[in-house]
Amino acid sequence: MNENKNNYANSRALYVLQIITMSFAILACVIAATAMLTRWIMDLDQKIKENNTKVAKAAARLNKFRKERIKHILKQRKLQLKQEKKNKKNRDKKFEEADGGDFTDELFEEITDEDAAAADFDNDLADIMDDED
């Protein structure tokens, strides 16, 4: 009977050891999983930061090119207006020579409408430039 008690006690101790061993094994798995997830999250965070940096750089380049394009358009428009004024002066001189300085109202209205449309276009472009800065 004494031998039976030892076997029972040993089996109970083995059972407790099995529970403790399984607890440590589960704890080790949880720690390993946590470490892997932490590393994965850190790598993902780093990639997101890199992508945001790339996107920000690309957006800055696009804004720069857009501003340069708007400046170029404004410059071309100024040159066009100068050329139109020069052409208008030449045309006015030709009409003065032909008509003796007598203009029709239609010609005057057409020129002012074109000038107003050009001024509106220039104002819109200037507003866009101011918004971008």
Cα angle, residue 47 at apex, residues 49 and 66 outer, rounded to 5°: 55
pLDDT the model gives residue 110: 54
Q: What are the tokens at 87?
A: 């052409």
Whether the predicted pLDDT of 22 surpasses 90? yes
To which residue do tokens 């857009």 refer? Answer: 66
User: DSSP letters of 28-95?
Assistant: HHHHHHHHHHHHHHHHHHHHHHHHHHHHHHHHHHHHHHHHHHHHHHHHHHHHHHHHHHHHHHHHHHHH
pLDDT band for 87, please (50, 70, 90 cuts): confident
- Cα(36)–Cα(30) distance, integer angstroms: 10
Average pLDDT over every residue of 60-64: 88
Residue pair 70/129 in contact by the 8 Å Cβ criterion: yes
pLDDT at 29: 97
Least confident range from 25-34, 69-78, 83-92: namely 83-92
What whole-number distance in Å separates Cα of residue 22 and Cα of residue 98?
Answer: 111
- In this structure, are residues 73 and 125 in contact, taking their beta carbons and an 8 Å threshold? yes
Q: Taking all residues of the chain, what is their mean pLDDT, rounded to a whole number?
A: 80
Q: Does 50 score more than 60 pLDDT?
A: yes
